[in-house]
Structure 1
């Protein structure tokens, strides 16, 4: 994993993805209204749980291999909880440790 000096936490998010594959409980909708959620393709929304749909612990909108190369299929309309996750913040470091990535 390379460190990105332009990235506040020093981690290159598109080479990581740990935060998107750490816990099915993290990708919860918090500030989104119905219109915001409607912009996210239905295949990636778990309405009864009020969160993004997950496959195990991994968000179903995450493509690629954690720790190598990843991308979000709904990046432009991702929920607030995803927008506020910052490289190097406590949640990032927890997820990176969980996946055995350097912190």
Structure 2
């Protein structure tokens, strides 16, 4: 059985950032935390990240190959709580035909 390096699996995945335009939503962020997210990346309703289709507009790279978050340091809480191998990760990876990974 091959082990997956969990420290880098998100950067070779990005599936959670392309799963649904409803996923990168704002929930418990303070006004100060929201103020540092570039306005061009916030959706029209001001309720979450702007998406192109289902893909978050802050996502850079190719899903399943090499990805990065363009605003990683100031990303919304929902992005911070998705962990490699959790239920949300597994659901997103399945959408893109990527193998599910064991939770950390």
Same fold (TM over 0.5): yes
Q: CA deviation at 1:59?
A: 0.2
Structure 2: runs of 5 or more not aligned: none
Return the alpha-carbon distance in structure 2 between the equivalents of residues 16 and 3 of structure 1. Answer: 12
Q: 1:58 is matched with which residue: 55, 59, 78?
A: 55
TM-score, structure 1 as length reference:
0.89
Q: CA deviation at 1:69?
A: 0.1
SS of aligned partner of 2:93:
helix
Alignment correspondent of 2:40: 43
Aligned residues: 98
Q: Does 1:86 align with 2:83?
A: yes
Structure 1: runs of 5 or more not aligned: none
Alignment correspondent of 2:13: 16
TM-score, structure 2 as length reference:
0.89
Please report the RMSD computed on the Cα atoms of aligned residues, expressed in angstroms.
Answer: 1.6
Q: Does 1:3 align with 2:23?
A: no
Residues 1:42 and 1:49: Cα distance change in structure 2 (over 3 Å): closer
Q: CA deviation at 1:46?
A: 1.2
Return the alpha-carbon distance in structure 1 between the equivalents of residues 38 and 46 of structure 2. Answer: 16
Runs ≥4 residues deviating over 2 A: none
Q: CA deviation at 1:49?
A: 4.8
Q: CA deviation at 1:33?
A: 1.7
Residues 1:100 and 1:70: Cα distance change in structure 2 (over 3 Å): same
